Amino acid sequence: MQSVDRAVSVLEILARHGEAGVTEIADELDVHKSTAFRLLGVLENRGLVAQAKERGKYYLGAGVLRLAGAAAVRLDISQEGVPVCRELADELGETANIAVLDEDAAVNIMQARGTASVTAQNWLGRRTPLHATASGKVLLAHMPPTLREGLLARSLPRFTERTITGTSALRGELEAVIEQGYALTVEELERGLTAVATPVRAHDGRVIAAISVSGPVYRLDSDRLPELAKRIVAAGAELSRRMGYGF
């Protein structure tokens, strides 16, 4: 029980400070550095903490977000998102999805298909890469900076010739996502597939999910994208309102 208590204390320390080294954590726990190091090792193996290798500091890992999402976000969003997704799919005729962060990927937890997308893929439950999907870019853009940089430091796989794999180019893309309020991908995950996504916020303003619309390039062409972006941003605002944002 003492080890569990100390492990939870480590997570609380990192939540307060953003990041901390082994010595700082050991001092706060009043334990030897070797004990703190062992605790951090276990938490790191489970994805609950991560280490910035160049500084030796530890910070909360994506696993914490996964647990938080599993405990509260997914159930609420799955329930509140049904009418929003359904209306979006019916109006646009395309597939609407809601995705949340799952470690280093976006996982789709809600889906509604429009009349034009009866033969489209089933994205429900599918884990998709953050850098090559519209929902993923939204989630990546709104991550805590330390966590985002840790993910960007990894090798980014290429799925098509249009996949953005350069860290600098992707950073620029994520800045645009923040500025314009939505993310766009055109044939970055699969040839012939276009998607637009926007953030969903909790009552405190945190981005907890992304809502998206996807379909074939020949239907979601450049002439239709501005209208699509405007509609998806409105849907994101509506779902955020349902989640308590703005009250």
DSSP string, 102-159: ETTEEEEEEEE--GGGTTS---TT-EEESTTSHHHHHHHHTS-HHHHHHHHTSPPPPS
Nearest to 101 by CA among 52, 151, 174, 159: 151
Cα(230)–Cα(153) distance, rounded to whole angstroms? Answer: 32
Q: What is the structure's pLDDT at 75?
A: 55
**Residue-level pLDDT, tens digit, the chain, 247 residues:** 677 888 888 888 888 877 888 888 888 888 888 888 888 888 888 888 888 766 678 888 877 766 665 555 555 787 888 889 889 988 998 999 999 998 888 998 888 888 875 555 676 777 899 999 999 999 999 999 888 888 888 889 999 999 999 999 999 999 999 999 999 999 999 999 999 999 999 888 999 999 999 989 999 888 888 889 999 999 999 999 988 887 5
**Distance, CA of 147 to chain centre:** 11
Check residue 47 and give left, alpha or beta (phi > 0: left; psi -120 to 50: alpha).
Answer: left
Q: What is the structure's pLDDT at 117?
A: 59
Expressed in angstroms, the distance from the first to the final Cα of the chain is 40
Helix (H) or strand (E) holding 88: helix 74-92
Q: What is the chain's length? A: 247
Q: What is the structure's pLDDT at 130?
A: 94
One-letter amino acid identity for 14? L
Nearest to 201 by CA among 191, 193, 211, 192: 211
Q: What is the structure's pLDDT at 69?
A: 55
Q: What is the structure's pLDDT at 67?
A: 66
pTM over 0.85: no
Cα(148)–Cα(143) distance, rounded to whole angstroms? Answer: 6
HSE on the CB side for 197, CA within 13 Å? 34
